[in-house]
């Protein structure tokens, strides 16, 4: 059982929850700050549980939906299902457990979270099929992850806000932009396939990289707008500046014909970016209590 659980956590890359979880916590903190409400331990626990459940469901569903396609791609054929490390029933059982966790956490948060939970699941699970019909699949991945800060805001306040939507847009632009970079690895496979779509396949590697850069520039502009609307202070903008520097570094690491440092750009730097923003939002809140 422990070995199987370890394999499942490897399959969904559980450690990469760090990409979106800090943004959920940012949404939680800014919602409390903007509306002058307190954050209880109960809220924190169930926001994290909802985030973990939703991401685990999305990743396990993706592995199930793409199992046959993964087997044909040199980069993904060693993933757990095509390699025989896990079976479809085992991953399906984990998917069901993840959905139950997400729904239970939504119920624990508030009525609106529970009512909107099927919509959230439709988006985060549906992403896996967008690659089959649109080159804008990267935006759908961003949308699915961008739900995190919006959901956390609703969990704290029981209602939506323009600031929450802007936070969701930040994540959409950020995730979508670096997913374009990640998709460069599958360019040859996607071009040869009649069923898989991506922006690099549609407009070429160089043009896709420029779209990624524009999206990340827009992300930083929206972060500034969030700070203005939420009446944040200098500490927050220091965090935005550091995140912007990391994004510039990330973009500089990848060239159309040199993908050797994609993993550093995708996995390492993006984890730093989300944690950096979370830390500086938290510092901004404590410094100006």
Write out 95-161 in H/E/C secondary structure.
HHHHHHHHHHHHHHHCHHHHHHHHHHHHHHHHHHHHCCCCCCHHHHHHHHHHHHHHHHHHHHHCCCC
> What residues does each domain of the chain span?
2-203
Percent of the chain with pLDDT over 90: 69
**Mean pLDDT value of segment 213-231:** 96
Residue 264 has pLDDT above 70, yes or no: no
**Predicted confidence (pLDDT) per residue in 56-99, tens digit:** 999 999 999 999 988 888 888 888 899 999 999 999 999 999 99
**Predicted confidence (pLDDT) per residue in 10-34, tens digit:** 888 776 777 789 999 999 999 998 8
Q: What is the CATH number of domain 2-203?
A: 1.10.357.140
Output phi, psi for 258, to 5 deg: -140, 95
pLDDT at 266: 66
pLDDT at 122: 96
Token pair, residue 159, equals: 């209602």
Token pair, residue 2, equals: 């422990």
Token pair, residue 208, equals: 């896709």
If you average pLDDT over each of 16-25, 36-45, 105-114, 196-205, which comes out highest? 105-114
Predicted model pTM: 0.92
Give CA–CA dist 79/98, Å, rounded: 20
Quick one: pLDDT band at residue 196, thresholds 50, 70, 90?
Answer: confident
């Amino acid at each position: 059982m422990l070995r199987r659980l370890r394999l499942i956590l490897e399959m969904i890359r559980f450690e990469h929850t760090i990409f979106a979880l800090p943004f959920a916590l940012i949404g939680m903190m800014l919602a409390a700050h903007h509306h002058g409400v307190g954050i209880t331990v109960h809220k924190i626990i169930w926001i994290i549980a909802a985030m973990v459940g939703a991401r685990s469901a999305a990743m396990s569903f993706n592995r199930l939906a793409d199992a046959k396609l993964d087997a044909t791609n040199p980069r993904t054929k060693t993933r757990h299902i095509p390699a025989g490390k896990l079976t479809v029933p085992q991953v399906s059982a984990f998917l069901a457990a993840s959905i139950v966790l997400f729904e239970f956490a939504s119920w624990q948060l508030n009525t609106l979270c529970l009512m909107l939970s099927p919509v959230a699941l439709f988006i985060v699970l549906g992403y896996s099929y967008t690659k089959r019909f649109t080159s804008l699949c990267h935006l759908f991945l961003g949308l699915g992850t961008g739900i995190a800060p919006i959901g956390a805001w609703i969990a704290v306040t029981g209602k939506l806000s323009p600031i929450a939507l802007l936070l969701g847009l930040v994540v959409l632009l950020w995730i979508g932009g670096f997913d374009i970079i990640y998709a460069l690895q599958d360019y040859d496979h996607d071009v040869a396939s009649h069923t898989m779509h991506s922006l690099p396949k549609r407009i070429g590697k160089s043009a896709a990289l420029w779209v990624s850069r524009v999206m990340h520039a827009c992300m930083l502009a929206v972060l500034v707008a969030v700070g203005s609307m939420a009446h944040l202070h200098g500490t927050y903008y220091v965090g935005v500046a550091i995140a912007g520097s990391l994004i510039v570094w990330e973009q500089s690491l990848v060239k159309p014909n040199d993908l050797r440092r994609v993993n550093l750009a995708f996995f390492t730097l993006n984890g730093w970016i989300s944690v950096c923003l979370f830390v500086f939002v938290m510092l901004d809140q404590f410094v100006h209590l």
